[in-house]
Structure 1
């Protein structure tokens, strides 16, 4: 392999080298310019000289395969790559701002701030997983934030792509990664489970809210293997004011067995976005680690086992969608709501890990002042939350899979569309009533949602019946 001649002023495939902005253990980063590209650019060049770690070359090969296939705001745009025959490199956009690593001196951060930060990271991970990639090196230095607040994931040298050869798995027996953030199953050679990234994100969430890493700083393989049977101290043992809902989320991410964690990053982001909807279990109240008897039982009868005939990444995500059903809680909609329940039950029957969000829109007046109480003096918002839970009771869902939401908006369709987008909803189920002249003229809520939603939409109609005009004029998603 030719010795790389990289220095300021050199030109590689039309890219003019500027200054070196970072020199890491596996690669260096250089500013570059190109006459045909009007953007701020970085060139990443692997350390490939004599005596360098061979993992640097293999991980860079993985990154060159993966980066050009990634799209969207949560990854850096890739402008070009070069092979090892001449000069290996990857040219990516230079993202404004700094990595999350810069916040380490400020730890622990306020709970509310960390909740919002990690929700954005989870959203970015969900987008990455949908593109068949598991990151495998989630840590503060691999996360940046754009000027608009969106999280960006960087450094894909240790990643696994479901449709590409896994060179790191094939060429190295021991797992590569950042020890404090590595999931237990990684120590057993499992690289095809996206929930490994959720474990790493749980470590970050624990660290940023307590100031301590859940498994310490141990870098030896022996120290790392303890997490196969030893759970961390609950955050509330470190901070007495730690919110129970947040401990519930953190300890669920850090479960030793992947099946006990969140099924998808999108569902984790949902809980972080709606902390009042988090179902509390015994995790939320824990003040001590599991007793030694439990730890020893795990050690000699481990639950975590190497991957066998595991389903592919896309299938895992598809089996754990976020489903939203838009309901009318007003009187006069029993037939439609029953049809919605039948349809929802049929869909959820095939998706045992799906999350269901029951939504109702409290329609506001455009001009008049809205009243919070109805004619009987009851709070409208609370009454609708109760009605949504009552509607969902026959579905017999575990509370961790169910949430209820009352949105207040002038435009019900716009509110539902925004809810679906912000919460990464995969499937909207919405009812449509009998037609009327007004609905034909102005357009219905269900029609607008079906036309503009970026996810799957199922429109449900009740059995045809003799409905009077007044009943037909009601908006579908607003009571």
Structure 2
């Protein structure tokens, strides 16, 4: 296809400079030739697919897929869709131009990102992927070049040509019948033809984190189907074998993402973002400690198992994310009765009991006066340790064997706002907290913390009243 020239006008769009030339498309800056009534108020780019004689059918199909899916997406983690050209004349997509730098730019630089930066970039990307899954879309082509980091650290996902929407026809599966994707980042289940599993994107995020941490790809760049199939049973070299200075918690996260079986990975991208944002709460297993590869006997056992394995996709991406939620319980530490603490624990136990794999975050908030009453860093640390111990003691009677659990002491002058910020920043699906049972007349005029949280929370809020009087708790 002939390259477009600056100054050329197409369907009312004025072509500007070419800003990217890729294997699948050319991207140009564009503007409205007559901006009066049409200008959307943000800069634009036009993506024109390469469709030459030597290109395969996937180029045309992926253009149709991206056109179909981009019109359905919304939110801060995707470019805004503006217009599309007819496939019969000139196919193109016009969308928002998003300033920033791709994750690939960190790999192309002189040095890899430090651990703190890597965790920040990874968490931002995982949050963007979770937002996509909540719209029932699996990206299925996540790689460093397709993740843009804006100046405010928000991640924006690019290139939806290989994506799959649960409520739309999967054109790639229908027309090509073969696994499609970038070989270095494709998940094991995609290799055997399973599309639409949100955990495939979690695997690709693991590949991205591995490369950002070590500078190497965990499985290389296989070019044959046999080479691709090896990841159905093979583990990569542990990241800490390549980079001994990496912390165990980071290797634990990366290798969990790269598990060959989807059920052993993070159940949702929100869980991955949570661990990357709270590395001190990551539970270290042998996966995070090892510095040598998996023995060949174990690989042989996995190969034998993989030979007869039937892969099945997960539930709808949205349902998959909702079935393994992050549950937050706000545990008060002052002016609270034992009966209320007991009722909170009972409510949390019931919520976790019907949600296998859900994550529990136990949170308490220190007021500004409590935090400032400490006179040194040492006494402040002691205060946090005391309340962390209180949270662990409160949770001890719960059956948490199937649930990752973390404990957090926050500091804020506005307790309700602190809880709301925590819930929003960590993609919490449910907040469990005690209902205020005193001052009911006052609540008509002044909203209590539970009422404010219930009114403004981005998720479900369960307000719990004490279930039993104190005298009966020991019965």
Please list the CA deviations of residues 318-338 of structure 1 after superposition, one character each: whole Å capped at 9, or x if unmatched.
Answer: 101111010113474211111
Give the 5 Å matches for 1:164-203.
164-203=168-207
Bigger mean CA offset, 313-322 vs 120-129:
313-322
**Residue in 1 that maps onto 2:272:** 268
Offset from partner CA, 1:101-128 (integer Å, 9 cap, x none): 1221334321111011111000100101
Q: How does 1:77-476 map to 2 (within 5 A)?
A: 77-106=80-109, 107-302=111-306, 305-308=309-312, 310-330=314-334, 332-365=336-369, 369-371=372-374, 379-398=382-401, 401-436=404-439, 441-463=445-467
Question: Against the structure 1 CA distance between its residues 71 and 111, is the aligned structure 2 distance closer, same or farther, given a 3 Å change threshold?
Answer: same
Give structure 2 stretches of 5+ with no counterpart. none
Deviations 1:275-317 (A, max 9, x none): 0000111111111111111111111221894444742222211
In structure 2, distance between residues paired with 1:52 and 1:179: 18
Cα deviation 1:357-415 (Å, max 9, x = unaligned): 0111111229x942279xx9993321211111122122211386111111111111111
1:27 pairs with 2:31: no
Alpha-carbon distance between aligned partners in 1 of 2:27 and 2:338, rounded to the nearest angstrom:
62
1:54 aligns with 2:52: no
Deviations 1:90-146 (A, max 9, x none): 101111123221221334321111011111000100101111111111111101112
Residue 88 of structure 1: SS of its match in structure 2? coil
Name the SS for the 2:393 alignment partner: helix
Deviation at 1:83, TM superposition (A): 2.5
Q: 1 CA distance for matches of 2:125 and 2:218? A: 19
Q: Helix, strand or coil: the match of 2:159? A: coil
Whole-angstrom distance in 2 between the partners of 1:466 and 1:241: 52
Are 2:101 and 2:150, in contact at CA under 8 Å, matched by a contact in 1? no
User: Structure 1 residues 427, 304: closer, same or farther in 2, change over 3 A?
Assistant: farther
Contact 2:194–2:312 under 8 Å retained in 1:
no
Equivalent residues of 2:339, 2:470 under 8 A apart? no
Structure 2-normalised TM-score? 0.92
Are 1:45 and 2:48 an aligned pair? Answer: yes
TM-score norm. by structure 1 comes to 0.91
> 1:5 Cα shift?
8.4
RMSD after superposition: 2.4
Contact 2:367 2:413 in 1 (8 A): yes
CA distance in 1, matches of 2:313, 2:427: 29
SS in 2 for 1:379: helix
1:241 Cα deviation from its structure 2 partner: 1.8
**Cα distance in 2 for residues equivalent to 1:144 and 1:199:** 19
Which shows bigger deviation, 162-171 or 78-87?
78-87
Instruction: Give, in angstroms, the shift of residue 264 of structure 1.
Output: 0.3
